[in-house]
Chains A and B, each alone.
Chain A
Amino acid sequence: MDEFAPSVTRRQLLAGAGVATAGVLSGCSERLRLAAEQSPYDQVGISITTLPADDDVMAAKIAGQLAGNLRAAGIDAGHEPIDEPELYRQVLLNREYDIFVTRHPGYDDPDALRSLLHSDFINEQGWQNPFGFSDGTVDELLESQCRAEGYERKAVFDDLFEHLDGSAPFTAVAFPNHLGAAAADLELTRTPRRPLEYLELVARRSAETDEESPLRIGVVEETMTERLNPIAVDIGDVNAVLELLYDPLVRHTEAGPVPWLAESVDWDDSGGSLEAVVDLHEGVTWHDGEPLDAADVAFTIRLLEDTSLGEVESGIPAPRYRGRTTLIENVRAVGEDRVRFSFGEHTSEVAQRALMVPILPEHIWEQRTEPINNYLTEALDWDNEEPIGSGLYAFAESTSGEFVELEPYEEHVLHDVDIQHHPGLFDEVDLADPIEFRVTPNIGAAVNSLVEGDLDLVGTPLAPEEFQKIEDTEDVETLTSPTRSFYIVGYNLKHPELNNPRFRRVVSQLLDREYIVDDETFFDGYAIEPTAIDSLVGLQPGRWNFPRTDANAQTESTFEFPGTDGEVDESVVRALFEDAGYRYDDGELVA
């Protein structure tokens, strides 16, 4: 904006007067006029949007360090903490930012990169290309991996990683371990986060005592007691609750996909197009007693694709599960319990992701399709404070800012029928105890309550310092487990400099990942450092085995931090920017 500001400096005025005089006196006015002209260059300014330390201490630290290193590079940089819902609104819905630093939930499958980077999603909300990135080669590779499988598909990803090579519109900083704490008598080895882990824990606990007592989980996330909308993206980490309440057709587990509401899934690609016939278990019901049928499944997919159900011209897709629903070409309820999906040329390896979205009750959500404006429907705005799902746990009650309680749903069909390939999984399983998520004002207060015996476990991740403080506490077990989530630094390509891949490549190198992962002021070793080109775009190290990338990972380090112990060496970093075509004026990086 500065470029358009009509600003006449004193220097210009004087020089102007000088020019007039000189013009009369001699012929060298040209040089004076040029000297008086305003410089076409301005200092590059970058603002970093992140969370306050209360919400995410690591994001705040990473943003602080990045801002300091950018300043050392002569950039006018600073960071601004913004609370979580508002950050997601600004970054994921409105794209009003230069750089953001937050925690990304991680990928269930490498195909998640498609909705993050494909230009088809450039005008969508949520974790759908929030950068404004558009690259023909990337688009092509992301499309062709959907049509491939096995080794061939992984090779396509190798091409993608090599093509992006450090100039992606975002970069991963660290994959944190989940640090947790629980009462020692629960005998846990890791903090439960997926629904199956909760179910296993409650079953074990219920079997040990006859007495019914709630499993009490301390969380700092206050929105959990106020907003439980499974298709909105502006809320923090409430997935643990949502996944207990809402069942998918097929559940993603560590042992691979398990048919859940589906009794069976039959894939068929003989007709040139991939089809899946899904048969539901007989007698599945919603928590309000209504039957769950094929129509609910078809409705859910239609709702996710357009939450206005055709009311708004170009549709208002749900900002979650976009990568999954866009795999589906067509979905049709065939009778009460059968749904037929067609996936076009996609392979089942990719397409099965689409069957893992939570199924929503049509009789409740069909009344919520009213558009509020051109980008928001009631379905997305709705708090859904008393959710009706079909999971093994049902919503019982909640008090805003204090707690949310779930109770076992005894009518659940899985108590009576077998899961394909997993017979008897829920036979004889006694899920008697309610589950209660209790809000505490900060993580330290949650840990105090745990130590005093007022909580059974802490759900919100602990910072390394808090974790170490209670390592030797009696009756408390500290738990650590790797996660696929990662700290992400994302760039808005509307910013003139961040739009330049060479500039981004330098910025992505300004974080000392090794230091951040190891140093005691950061993760103190409780994280994994992304080094290879796949993990630098968020693929959990060691999980996917991409043939070329992972074979070379040991030898080929893509980034080299231009400094030591987290802080950049000014002359080295300035040389990097100069190599990328930038110049310095009075120590300021200008463009």
Chain B
Amino acid sequence: MALVDLVGNVALVVVPMLIVTSLTIVGPRRLRMAVRTYRWRLAAITTPLLLLATVLVVRVMTRDLLGELSQRVVGMYFTGSIFSIEYVLFETNPVVFLQSFQTEALTAYFAFIYVYGYVFLLVFPFIAYFALSEMDDLNTLVVAYTANYAIGLVLYTLFIAYGPRNYDPLLFESLLYDAFPNFGYLTHEVNEPTNVFPSLHTSLSMTVLFVAWRTRDTYPLWVPVSAVFAISVVLATMYLGIHWFSDVVVGTLLAFLSVSLGRHYTERDLDETVRKYVRRNLEQVRSTVGW
């Protein structure tokens, strides 16, 4: 089936990209070490991983339920409002502006980025931070991913909005599906056309970039690489007519919030570990001295 083909096809492109980048940015020595000592590393990130898995499972399981809840009860039709806000703010809608640069090569580039580049950008940090001597950055990343999905889910339930390509085909072109209709098999499986506000493509990519900036001392090369990919993904969502400028702005804010939550989680965790350590030592001192 076309979906299975496409998933295999994504793996075929992304896996080599991951291998090359891992060897250059992370280095063989770190990678070897990480594989050898994977147990404690996994143990250290169990909680956030379970959290992420839970949110993803809930997301899939409640797809129909939330869809109905959204349409019949809490949801607000929002596409017209987004269009009006941007109509007032901009002389030319940012999506129209980006699409005015349309060439076949650019469409191919952004389609590649939107599907393959995005998967690469999201997966690579797992490898990079797994190979570090501490799991703090990975914890931050996973909690931030989780927050993105969880908050995104709530916003999608509250705001029912279609992307520019669905709103007015006279103004906005549906470049991705016009050029590569078969990508529909993949996007149709993982997404609803009304899940537009905010752009999770943007928020997750910006999350990766924000965390990359925090780890710039360890992986200096990853900052420019992730920046090119993340900004390309953001532009791609608009160029391809999938997202509004508003989705991208709110997506970036969501990324900022999610990374803060991730850091908060990791640092609080750190505090607790330190406190436990101090307490244990104090007790030892107490028993020795005989207070």
- A and B bind: yes
Residues of A at the B interface (CB closer than 8 Å) are 47, 52-54, 57, 60-61, 63-65, 78-83, 86, 440-445, 447-449, 465, 521
CA distance A436 to B162 in the complex (A): 31
Q: Which of B2, B80, B178, B182 contacts A79 (CB 8 A)?
A: B80
In the bound complex, residues from chain A placing their C-beta under 8 Å from that of B80 are: 47, 78-80
In the bound complex, residues from chain A placing their C-beta under 8 Å from that of B61 are: none
Interface contact A448-B182, CB-CB below 8 Å: yes
Given A441-B187, A448-B181, also A81-B166 (CB < 8 A): yes
CA distance A61 to B77 in the complex (A): 19
The residues in B between 79 and 105 inclusive whose CB is less than 8 angstroms from any CB of A are: 79-80, 83-84
Given A52-B162, A80-B80, A81-B162, also A445-B181 (CB < 8 A): yes
Interface contact B182-A445, CB-CB below 8 Å: yes
6 additional contacts, CB 8 Å, given A60-B167, A80-B77, A521-B170?
A: A79-B167, A79-B168, A440-B184, A441-B187, A445-B185, A448-B182
CA distance A195 to B166 in the complex (A): 32
B290 within 8 A of A: no
Which of A65, A445, A449 counts the most B-chain CB atoms under 10 A from its CB? Answer: A445
Interface contact A53-B83, CB-CB below 8 Å: no
The residue on A at minimum CB distance from B172 is A53
In the bound complex, residues from chain B placing their C-beta under 8 Å from that of A47 are: 80
Given A78-B83, A80-B77, also A445-B184 (CB < 8 A): yes
CA distance A447 to B79 in the complex (A): 29
The residues in B between 97 and 154 inclusive whose CB is less than 8 angstroms from any CB of A are: none
In the bound complex, residues from chain A placing their C-beta under 8 Å from that of B169 are: 53, 57, 60-61, 64
Interface contact A441-B188, CB-CB below 8 Å: yes
The residue on B at minimum CB distance from A446 is B181
Which of B71, B166, B174 counts the most A-chain CB atoms under 10 A from its CB? Answer: B166
Interface contact B170-A442, CB-CB below 8 Å: no
Q: Which 5 A-B pairs have the closest CB atoms?
A: A444-B181, A441-B184, A64-B168, A52-B166, A441-B188
CA distance A450 to B153 in the complex (A): 36
B224 within 8 A of A: no
Q: Which of B79, B174, B181, B185 contacts A80 (CB 8 A)?
A: B79
B57 within 8 A of A: no
Given A82-B77, A441-B185, A444-B178, also A64-B170 (CB < 8 A): yes
CA distance A53 to B193 in the complex (A): 10
B22 within 8 A of A: no
CA distance A330 to B185 in the complex (A): 51
B177 within 8 A of A: yes
Q: How far is the CB of A493 from chain B (nearest CB, A)?
A: 22
Given A81-B79, A83-B194, also A64-B171 (CB < 8 A): yes
Bitwise, B185-229 to A at CB < 8 A (1) or not (0) is: 101100001100000000000000000000000000000000000
Which of A65, A78, A81 counts the most B-chain CB atoms under 10 A from its CB? Answer: A81
CA distance A138 to B187 in the complex (A): 49
The residue on B at minimum CB distance from A469 is B178
CA distance A189 to B223 in the complex (A): 59
Q: How far is the CB of A64 from chain B (nearest CB, A)?
A: 4
In the bound complex, residues from chain B placing their C-beta under 8 Å from that of A448 are: 181-182
Interface size class of B (residues with CB under 8 A): 20 to 34
Q: How far is the CB of B88 from chain A (nearest CB, A)?
A: 12
Q: How far is the CB of B197 from chain A (nearest CB, A)?
A: 13
Interface contact A52-B167, CB-CB below 8 Å: yes
Interface contact A65-B170, CB-CB below 8 Å: yes
Q: How far is the CB of B106 from chain A (nearest CB, A)?
A: 19
In the bound complex, residues from chain A placing their C-beta under 8 Å from that of B185 are: 440-441, 445
Given A444-B184, A445-B185, also A61-B168 (CB < 8 A): yes
Q: Which of B84, B170, B178, B194 contacts A61 (CB 8 A)?
A: B170
In the bound complex, residues from chain A placing their C-beta under 8 Å from that of B84 are: 78
The residue on B at minimum CB distance from A447 is B181
Q: How far is the CB of A408 from chain B (nearest CB, A)?
A: 26
In the bound complex, residues from chain B placing their C-beta under 8 Å from that of A57 are: 169
The residue on B at minimum CB distance from A65 is B170
The residue on A at minimum CB distance from B164 is A53
CA distance A449 to B1 in the complex (A): 11
Q: List 22 interface pairs A-B (beta carbons < 8 Å), by A numbering.
A: A53-B166, A53-B169, A57-B169, A60-B168, A61-B168, A64-B170, A64-B171, A65-B170, A80-B79, A81-B162, A81-B166, A82-B77, A83-B193, A441-B184, A443-B181, A444-B177, A444-B182, A444-B184, A445-B184, A445-B185, A448-B181, A448-B182
In the bound complex, residues from chain A placing their C-beta under 8 Å from that of B170 are: 61, 64-65, 521
CA distance A442 to B187 in the complex (A): 11
Which of B166, B169, B171, B177 counts the most A-chain CB atoms under 10 A from its CB? Answer: B169
CA distance A448 to B167 in the complex (A): 25
Q: How far is the CB of A28 from chain B (nearest CB, A)?
A: 40
B165 within 8 A of A: yes
The residue on B at minimum CB distance from A440 is B184
In the bound complex, residues from chain A placing their C-beta under 8 Å from that of B193 are: 52, 54, 83
Interface contact B166-A60, CB-CB below 8 Å: yes
CA distance A60 to B2 in the complex (A): 28
CA distance A198 to B194 in the complex (A): 35
In the bound complex, residues from chain B placing their C-beta under 8 Å from that of A61 are: 168-170
CA distance A54 to B241 in the complex (A): 13
CA distance A57 to B169 in the complex (A): 7
Interface contact A53-B167, CB-CB below 8 Å: yes
The residue on B at minimum CB distance from A439 is B188
CA distance A538 to B251 in the complex (A): 45
CA distance A78 to B184 in the complex (A): 28
Interface contact A445-B166, CB-CB below 8 Å: no
Q: How far is the CB of B204 from chain A (nearest CB, A)?
A: 22
Q: How far is the CB of A549 from chain B (nearest CB, A)?
A: 32
In the bound complex, residues from chain B placing their C-beta under 8 Å from that of A82 are: 77
In the bound complex, residues from chain A placing their C-beta under 8 Å from that of B177 are: 442, 444
Q: How far is the CB of B137 from chain A (nearest CB, A)?
A: 37
In the bound complex, residues from chain A placing their C-beta under 8 Å from that of B171 are: 64
In the bound complex, residues from chain A placing their C-beta under 8 Å from that of B187 are: 441
Interface contact B167-A64, CB-CB below 8 Å: yes
The residue on A at minimum CB distance from B75 is A86
CA distance A520 to B174 in the complex (A): 16
In the bound complex, residues from chain A placing their C-beta under 8 Å from that of B71 are: 86
In the bound complex, residues from chain B placing their C-beta under 8 Å from that of A53 are: 165-169, 174
In the bound complex, residues from chain B placing their C-beta under 8 Å from that of A54 are: 166, 193
CA distance A521 to B71 in the complex (A): 32
In the bound complex, residues from chain B placing their C-beta under 8 Å from that of A86 are: 71
CA distance A83 to B79 in the complex (A): 12
In the bound complex, residues from chain A placing their C-beta under 8 Å from that of B181 are: 441-445, 447-448
CA distance A276 to B182 in the complex (A): 53
Q: How far is the CB of B184 from chain A (nearest CB, A)?
A: 3
Q: How far is the CB of B150 from chain A (nearest CB, A)?
A: 24
Q: How far is the CB of B246 from chain A (nearest CB, A)?
A: 15
In the bound complex, residues from chain B placing their C-beta under 8 Å from that of A83 are: 193-194
Interface contact B162-A445, CB-CB below 8 Å: no
Interface contact B168-A445, CB-CB below 8 Å: no
Q: How far is the CB of B56 from chain A (nearest CB, A)?
A: 20
In the bound complex, residues from chain A placing their C-beta under 8 Å from that of B178 are: 444, 465
In the bound complex, residues from chain B placing their C-beta under 8 Å from that of A449 are: 2
Q: How far is the CB of A521 from chain B (nearest CB, A)?
A: 6
Q: How far is the CB of B40 from chain A (nearest CB, A)?
A: 43
CA distance A444 to B181 in the complex (A): 5
Q: How far is the CB of B257 from chain A (nearest CB, A)?
A: 28
CA distance A485 to B14 in the complex (A): 46
CA distance A443 to B187 in the complex (A): 14
CA distance A61 to B171 in the complex (A): 9
CA distance A47 to B171 in the complex (A): 19
Which of B79, B165, B167, B193 counts the most A-chain CB atoms under 10 A from its CB? Answer: B167
CA distance A82 to B162 in the complex (A): 9
Interface contact B2-A445, CB-CB below 8 Å: yes
Q: How far is the CB of A157 from chain B (nearest CB, A)?
A: 35
In the bound complex, residues from chain A placing their C-beta under 8 Å from that of B194 are: 83
CA distance A68 to B168 in the complex (A): 11
Interface contact A81-B83, CB-CB below 8 Å: no
In the bound complex, residues from chain A placing their C-beta under 8 Å from that of B83 are: 78
